[in-house]
Amino acid sequence: MSDSLELLVIITIVCMAAVTYLTRAGGLFIVSRINPSPGIRAFLTHMPSSILVAIIVPSLAGKGPSEMIAAGVTAIMAVCTRNLVLSLAAGLLTVSLLRHYLFVQP
């Protein structure tokens, strides 16, 4: 790679990091300066879980029964235990066992 191209890649990475940092720091700065209403506070509290659901549900579309059952087990464990690591471990163990013993992949 030529020196000018290498420098351009480094500058691009530094600029992307700066924009990412400023976006996050700017959000924290703004939120620390305002007093949100109870409705806004509730929205901000539940936003991470809704984003997680928006990512997970489409990825399950078209998957087999092992994945669907494991997703259910993970959700039940998350609700019952409120422990993310335990929930993920239960889901991974479930999908592994189901794939190996019950729904054998071709």
The string of pLDDT tens digits covering residues 4-19 is: 889 999 999 999 999 9
- Look at residue 76 and tell me whether its pLDDT is greater than 90: yes
Distance (Å, rounded) from C-alpha 67 to C-alpha 94? Answer: 9
Provide mean pLDDT across the span 20-48: 83
Query: Is 8 in the same domain as 52?
Result: no
Total of domains in the chain: 2
Mean pLDDT of the residues in the chain: 86
CA–chain centroid gap for 69, Å, is 20
The two structure tokens encoding residue 80: 């019952």
Q: Which one-letter amino acid corresponds to residue 9? A: V
Domain that holds residue 8: 1-34
56 within domain boundaries: yes
Query: Is 102 in the same domain as 59?
Result: yes
Query: Is 71 in the same domain as 105?
Result: yes
40 within domain boundaries: no
The predicted structure's pLDDT at residue 1: 62
The predicted structure's pLDDT at residue 106: 53
Instruction: Please tell me whether the overall predicted TM-score, pTM, comes out greater than 0.75 for this model.
Output: no
Is residue 83 within a helix (H) or strand (E), and if so which, with residue range? none
Query: Is 59 in the same domain as 92?
Result: yes
89 within domain boundaries: yes
Query: Is 68 in the same domain as 98?
Result: yes
